[in-house]
Amino acid sequence: MTGKPATIKEIAKILNVSVSTVSRALHKHPTIGITTQLKVQALAEKLGYEPNQNAISFQKGKTYTIGVIIPELSEAFFSAAISAIEDTAYKRNYTVLIAQSHDNEEKEIQLVEKMKNSRVDGLLISVAKTTSSFAHFDMLKRFNIPVVFFDRIPPLKNIHYVACNMETGSIEAVNYLLQKGHRSIGLINGPATLAASGERKEGYIKAMTKNRLKFDPSLIVSCNLTEEGTRAALDGLLAHKRRPTAIVTFNDYVSLYAIKHARNLGIDLDKDLQFVSYANLPIINYMDYAPVASVEQFPYLQGQKAADILLDLLSRKEQSPDGVQAYYNVMVESQLIENKTKNSY
């Protein structure tokens, strides 16, 4: 033997039977006698025969592979979501192909094209923060590749998605700070291209107006979620005539950048400024000065639900290729978690 797996043709030649007979025998087809089946199966095992997965995929019109495109695998949020996606896919005999956009729109476009060319059966996508054009997602529809977005959702109609309710999370965050006696509360938001930024803003406004406090739009500052962008946003708020005594930040990483910058400026984080953030990542338990609370977004649950939806879509596609399907829009409720560790100020 050469070390290569035996083929059906080689088995057929050795047994002096047709290729179709070997194929049917390996699949235990009732038209093939039990004696022939046993001979074929015994020789196949002896020669180390393995089914050609590419041929099977071609025959069935599916690869049993789903693609996942996320901004950053190094972020704990997306790592948790990936774990859920892999766990869910494994139970349904699917393989997961993972790629990172690194929050770059051009790379995201290229990855979508590569996933299509790799013939994934479907895609799970969390959109890059810089993405402002969505033609690459529309292209997938033309190739009948179902897509489910999760966490970072594009502002498009007629899409499948799973997201966390950031509006209610923002209301909880602002209410929490109001209960602690703060009246001037800032918001360091994310890029306007992210739907989650708009939801955070809406929740912030609703909480302020519901508590009969004047909404000051200049207390909302957007940033690109980098450390440099966060420093600039914080500087702007600190220079405000109604300098905030508390700030809600887009996520825990932005909070970390803001707290670091505030400490470098000599601000007393026990008396003069407090932060609330989103994501409730494990990292905040190891920060010297952590946000006083963080909005839990349940990344594992989001990933699990997104994968379930995609696999359900693929199952329905197989059963009814031309069927018209409703769009799944799943909203996971957020939860404000107060940080009671010794590291919180």
Residue 116 lies in a domain: yes
**Average pLDDT score over residue span 39-66:** 76
CB environment 282-320: b (16+ within 10 A), e (fewer): eebeebebbbbbbbbbbbbbbbbbbbbbbbbbbeebeee
Q: Is the pLDDT of residue 220 over 80?
A: yes
pLDDT of 144 above 80: yes
Within this chain, do residues 81 and 116 fall inside the same structural domain, yes or no?
yes
Residues 215 and 281 placed together within one structural domain of the fold? yes
CA–CA gap between residue 277 and residue 293 (Å, rounded):
7
Q: Is the pLDDT of residue 343 over 70?
A: no
Query: 68-89, pLDDT tens digit by residue?
Result: 999 999 999 999 999 999 999 9
Query: How much is the average pLDDT of 114-143?
Result: 95
Q: What is the mean pLDDT of the chain?
A: 91
Please check the confidence at residue 317 and state whether its pLDDT lies above 80.
no
The CATH number given to whatever domain includes residue 214 is 3.40.50.2300
pLDDT digits (tens, 9 = 90+) for 234-261: 999 999 999 999 999 999 999 999 999 9
Range of the domain at 225: 166-296
Say yes or no to pLDDT of 47 above 80: yes
Segment among 26-30, 79-83, 112-116, 221-225 with least mean pLDDT: 26-30
Question: What is the model's pLDDT at position 53?
Answer: 58
Q: What are phi and psi of 331, to 5 degrees?
A: -115, 120
Residue 294 pLDDT grade (very low, low, confident, very high; cuts 50, 70, 90): very high
Same domain, 152 and 201: no
Burial 40-74, CB ≥16 within 10 A → b, else e: bbebbeeeebeeeeeeeeeeeebbbbbbbbbbbee
174 falls within a domain: yes
Assess if residue 344 is contained within a domain.
no
Above 80 in pLDDT, residue 271? Answer: yes
Higher pLDDT, 4 or 336: 336
Largest Cα–Cα distance of the chain, in whole Å? Answer: 91
Same structural domain, 285 and 256: yes
Domain assignment present for residue 343? The answer is no
Residues 288, 191 share a domain: yes
- Does 211 lie in the same domain as 136? no
The verdict on 285 and 266 lying in the same domain is yes
Q: What is the pLDDT of residue 61?
A: 61
Number of domains in the chain: 3
Please give the pLDDT value at position 22. Answer: 85
On whether both 215 and 272 belong to a single domain, the answer is yes
Residues 227 and 141 in one domain: no
pLDDT score of 316: 85
Residues 104 and 75 in one domain: yes
The answer to whether position 340 is within a domain reads no
In the predicted model, is pLDDT for residue 201 greater than 60? yes
Same domain, 44 and 88: no
- If asked whether residues 185 and 278 sit together in one domain, one would say yes
pLDDT for residue 217: 97
Q: How confident is the model at residue 321 (pLDDT cuts 50, 70, 90)?
A: low
Residue 318 has pLDDT above 80, yes or no: no
